[in-house]
Structure 1
């Protein structure tokens, strides 16, 4: 799984796309690892752009939960933005949006995380 990155307003933005299900969860974990290594206190916040994610399963949520815990343990900032309606519904039902900060758009996330 390739996770293209770019920097905007001092924030590392990672574009995630496709389905994050049981089959993709291990590959997603491996792709996130080097990015999470950089998600430490004083480093750029790590923002996952989910505008291209059309499905996430409980296995995908687990990957995100572990990533969030790791970032918090390293005193880094980790967030998600631009959830598609179906993915947003999964986050709301599972109350996952209370575990990881979620923003409606990249612009709103950059504004909140950049301050």
Structure 2
């Protein structure tokens, strides 16, 4: 899965597309891993822009849970932005909305982590 990384100031914005399900979760995790290593206390914060993600399954949620645990353990900051209604509903039902900082759009997320 291509994450299309873009630098916005100090922040790295990743923009996955499609579905993060049993077919694509491993590719998502592999693509995300190198960015997680740099997301530490003095490193660049990460924003994952979900505007082009139409669906996420439990295995996709697991990949994100492993990622946020790593980032928090390193003292970094990773936030999510622009979740589509169905994806946001999955996050809410699974209570992942309590695990992640979620912003309505990319600009709000980038502003928050830059502050």
TM-score by length of 2: 0.96
* 2:15 alignment partner, SS class: strand
Cα offset for 1:35? 0.7
Task: Give the paired residue count.
Answer: 115
Q: Distance in 2 between matches of 1:42 and 1:97?
A: 25
The match for 2:87 is 87
1:7 Cα deviation after fit: 1.3
Deviations 1:75-102 (A, max 9, x none): 1111110000100111111110110111
Unaligned runs of 5+ in 2: none
Higher strand share: 1
- Residue of structure 2 equivalent to 1:98: 98
SS in 2 for 1:55: strand
Counterpart of 2:12 in structure 1 is 12
| Runs of 4+ in structure 1 over 6 Å off | none
- 1:58 aligns with 58
Q: Give 3-state SS (helix, strand or coil) of 2:2's partner.
A: coil
